[in-house]
Structure 1
Amino acid sequence: MEERLEYIEGAEQPISMHPKKFALWLFIVSTVMVFAALTSAYIVRQAEGNWLEFNLPSVFYWTSAIIVLSSGTMHWAYTAAQRDDMKILKLGMVLTSILGVAFLVGQWYSWVALVDRDVYFVGNPAGSFLYVFTGLHALHLISGVIFLIIVLISSFKYKIHSKSMTRMEMCATYWHFLGGLWIYLFMFLLLNH
């Protein structure tokens, strides 16, 4: 008995994603869940009373501007990679890396400003939450800066270009996520401190 195979036009193709991109998205989703849980706990604990009222350090505004600007330079580098414009790609990655480090330095100075206002990690839960939010975000941002440096080195070795975009796409996705996460945290703290 002869089997007949036919090509079916318009047959659905399976959805596929690079395994590393899938792992990145799982990590992003888990990070979102952690910060959602923390912000929910913040609201619940704040409602219980005994909550220290204080103004956020002005350096938070500066770091927010820095992270938004770094997202712009990252996008600039990404589009340059798509066009095989290696000079702009390298410049964009250098600027994004510098801005990422500047954000981390700014976060350190925000902690110094908090201590100057007598807001400590131990003591009132308001301060504890603020240090946990900024500390966890800084930890994620350190991993983001490491990723930026890896992509920067790859761009200087001409391993990032229009035919090899996976690493660049993952780095851009993660960096934009970190920027969006910071803006969310900053707005949350402005509205709920």
Structure 2
Amino acid sequence: MSTVTLKRTQRIHPKKFALWLGIGTVIMMFAGFTSAFIVRRAAGNWVEFELPPLFYMSTLVIAMSSIALFFAQRAFKANHRLQYRNLLGLTFTGGIAFIVLQYAAWMQLASYGILLRGNPSGSFVYVISGVHAAHVLGGVVLLGLFFVRALPKPDPVQELLSEINPERNLGIEMLSVYWHFVGILWLYLLVFFHFYK
């Protein structure tokens, strides 16, 4: 008599696959942007300028918000609801602060005479940082939705159903991956701008 063993294959959740596919697409888009930046810079007629200090400050803010989300995810897994909600709110606030600092940095660029419609060097910085800020804004919207979901429910049955929903764990995991990705992407872009200004 022979024994048949079934080997179970580990599959990635379709939503996780979609997230990673989206991240891959964003990586390709920014690789295209930075490649175009390098090629256009080599063509001449390129004004070099110092990056606004607020770009560096916004880097610190997004890094801190990423750390807050890391601990929020740990609090979620440990079922520390209040700590989870507070850290999620801190991450959300950090995301808003990042976008505000980016806008203020663009105003600093304009005060230096570096305009969107001016020299291509400035145009590239505005477009690349602007597209990145749009991705951060998408993350901020998601953080806001997760924060609202983390608020206590008036109905205990709704609270219980919310707690046992397996999609919640997947959701916070995917949100964390996305948020850490946009933070790392900004760090890459800042280093890129710094060395190729």
Cα 1:15–1:120, aligned 2, differ >3 Å: closer, same or farther? same
Contact 1:86–1:155, Cα closer than 8 Å, also in 2: yes
What's the RMSD between the two structures over aligned residues? 1.8
Contact 1:160–1:167, Cα closer than 8 Å, also in 2: no
Q: Residues 165-189 of structure 1: CA distance to partner in whole angstroms, max 9, x if unpaired?
A: 0110011010000000000000100
Correspondence for 1:117: 112
Corresponding residue pairs, total = 188
Cα 1:102–1:160, aligned 2, differ >3 Å: closer, same or farther? farther
Counterpart selection for 1:7 from 1, 4, 12: 4
Correspondence for 2:170: 166
Q: Does 1:72 align with 2:67?
A: yes
Contact 1:82–1:162, Cα closer than 8 Å, also in 2: no
Counterpart selection for 1:47 from 42, 46, 62: 42
- Read off the aligned partner of 2:7 and give its amino acid letter: E
Cα 1:124–1:161, aligned 2, differ >3 Å: closer, same or farther? farther
5+ residue gaps, structure 2, are 153-158
Segments of 4+ in structure 1 off by > 3 A? Answer: 4-7, 157-164
Query: Which protein is richer in helix relative to its size?
Result: 2
Counterpart selection for 2:149 from 136, 151, 154: 154
TM-score between the two structures when normalised by the length of structure 1? 0.92
Correspondence for 1:57: 52
- Read off the aligned partner of 1:148 and give its amino acid letter: L
Q: What is the CA–CA distance in structure 1 between the aligned matches of 2:112 and 2:118, rounded to whole Å? A: 13
Instruction: After TM superposition, list the pairs within 5 Å mapping 1:26-37 onto structure 2.
Output: 26-37=21-32
Cα 1:124–1:150, aligned 2, differ >3 Å: closer, same or farther? same
Counterpart selection for 1:189 from 157, 176, 193: 193
Instruction: After TM superposition, list the pairs within 5 Å mapping 1:124-135 onto structure 2.
Output: 124-135=119-130
Correspondence for 1:21: 16
Q: Residues 95-143 of structure 1: CA distance to partner in whole angstroms, max 9, x if unpaired?
A: 0000000000000001100000000111211011001111100110110
Offset of residue 161 of structure 1: 7.3
- Read off the aligned partner of 1:116 and give its amino acid letter: S
5+ residue gaps, structure 1, are none
Instruction: After TM superposition, list the pairs within 5 Å mapping 1:84-103 onto structure 2.
Output: 84-103=79-98
Correspondence for 2:102: 107
Contact 1:21–1:170, Cα closer than 8 Å, also in 2: yes
Q: Residues 64-99 of structure 1: CA distance to partner in whole angstroms, max 9, x if unpaired?
A: 000000000000100001111111100110000000
Counterpart selection for 2:136 from 120, 132, 141: 141
